[in-house]
Amino acid sequence: MKTGFKLSFLATVFIGGFFFQASGQLSCQASPGTINRPTPKFGFNTNGHIPPDIPFVGWSGANWTQQWFVDSTIYLNPEILRFPGGTNASHWDWKTGWFIPGYQPPGTPLMIRSDEFKPGLLGCNGEGLFVMNLETSNVQYEMDGVRHADSIGLNPQLFELGNEHNLNGGATYPLQLMTPTNYSQLAQAYFESVKAEFPASKICAVGGNTLSGPGMGWNDTVLVYIPAINAFAFHVYLTANNADSVFHLNRALAIPFGNPASNTSLSYRYNTAGFASLPVDKEVWVTEFNLEETQLVAVPIIAESWTHLLYVTAMNNFFLSQSNIAMVLNHSLASSASHYASISRQDKHITANAIADETFV
């Protein structure tokens, strides 16, 4: 079992720094500090289900059937791998190892079961965070999948009850958004089933800020129905403050490198309407996070660059400063969107996004 984290020269110099640019030179000032807290577990969300023909024939793809992808994952040395991933987990059939009909993406279907996931997980000596399908499956079928994962030696002990059911999925995923009560009642059935067979497991519910208006909000409702829940998940995607489509280094890095006490882009999640109000015995799991550029439909100008490395490093530092965060998972190990990928599906290289997270594992 891995313990602790590496604080490299990169993190030591740049974390908490103040950036300015003069005469084309980038300079940095940093101040030392000490954080006393249990070490969170670092890893990746694993949307590693990309066939070689998405979106262009001849690209390498990135999935657990490819030995190079398994080897690259092992090289990154993650402590946690989230499987089968984010939104895709809500439309996933564990038995076929692919998306259920009606949600299948273009490209060649693959078989990415826990069997195919096993070499990557065991190769890096990591733990699996298994996301259960609450949206298009049922608790009996999902428990069969968990039992299968256990039978092949994956020892599932970390579970996440669905993905982003506090957010509107629009016309594409109309079943995603649930009311706090509907989600909590459904999640309660999954929680009790998992605990009955895996009593030592830790289980995470979807988390969200308290809703405005009368009545209880999301987190409070979950706690009413599942008072023994171990953790709440939240996802953090911050922009580079470049809605004008212009890249400016200082402006971009001011988002994650800002003072956590005054940085509203990050700290609002810890106000009294959010996770600051959780009971002290509840953990926060950041099961997805990354830079989200404004120009998502264009060629990214920050992703996979030196700036992206600094950006993700700064976000990691913020998470380390919050004592209730027990897990930090970068999005994503591989992705159809290159600006999130840690392992490139085009030419198989390790990206700046991955290097930033490898610093902390």
pLDDT in tens, 123-135: 999 999 999 999 9
Looking at the whole model, is its pTM more than 0.85? yes
pLDDT tier at 209, thresholds 50, 70, 90: low
Distance CA 309, CA 314 (A): 9
pLDDT at 223: 95
pLDDT at 253: 87
Distance CA 139, CA 251 (A): 46
Model confidence at 99: pLDDT above 90: yes
Distance CA 319, CA 42 (A): 11
Model confidence at 313: pLDDT above 60: yes
pLDDT at 6: 43
Distance CA 127, CA 149 (A): 12
pLDDT at 13: 40
What the block records as the tokens of 232 is 């709440």
Mean pLDDT computed over 170-175: 92
Around 55, how many Cα atoms within 13 Å sit in the side-chain half-sphere? Answer: 4
Task: Tell me the CATH architecture of domain 9-358.
Answer: Alpha-Beta Barrel (3.20)
Long-range contacts of 153-156 (CB under 8 A, 24+ apart): 153/118, 153/122, 154/114, 154/117, 154/118, 154/121, 154/122, 154/128, 156/128, 156/130, 156/198, 156/201
Spell out the domain ranges in the chain. Answer: 9-358
Distance CA 206, CA 294 (A): 25
Model confidence at 167: pLDDT above 50: yes
